[in-house]
Amino acid sequence: MGGRQRPPRARTPRQGRPADNGGGRVTSRVGIARIEGFLAWEAEVAAAERDARAFAARFPWLPDVERESLEQAYAADRLRYAEEVVDRAVGRCRRLAARYRAECRRICARWAALCLTVTLAAALFAVLPAALRG
């Protein structure tokens, strides 16, 4: 078959996040994720090419050039669809991550307000008896 389709667009890490925390763990996780993504994409390309050959084999009367053209078109359509699926999944993950970050900030703000209220109440109850005596 002809050349391989390009893999899904490279994703960049969130801005403002350190690339490394001193131990190399963030960098190595990103590297491993990229390798996994590359291998998954190569497996998808191989499956698309295999299925394209099987589909084109259903048309034995086609000349070899037309059969190869059919294989390439089939594989290209399938890879284009696979890329769209990946892009939709990435978009969904980003939306969920943003929603979870917002929820986490909201919960942290509530806990901070609760802790501040309890601290102020404890200080008030500690100072109030002394103020009432004097």
Condensed to tens digits (0 to 9), the pLDDT of residues 98-134 reads 999 999 999 999 999 999 999 999 999 988 887 777 6
Condensed to tens digits (0 to 9), the pLDDT of residues 23-63 reads 567 788 889 999 999 999 999 999 999 999 999 999 999 99
Residue with tokens 């969904």: 92
In 3D space, the residue among 23, 8, 27 whose CA is nearest the CA of residue 89 turns out to be 8
Q: Provide the pLDDT for residue 22.
A: 55
User: pTM for the complete prediction?
Assistant: 0.63
Residue 95: HSE in the Cβ half-sphere, 13 Å Cα cutoff? 6
Is residue 86 within 8 A of residue 94, CB to CB? The reply is no
Condensed to tens digits (0 to 9), the pLDDT of residues 66-109 reads 999 999 999 999 999 999 999 999 999 999 999 999 999 999 99
Q: Provide the pLDDT for residue 57.
A: 95
Q: Provide the pLDDT for residue 6.
A: 57
The number of angstroms, rounded, from the C-alpha of 128 to the middle of its chain's C-alpha atoms is 54
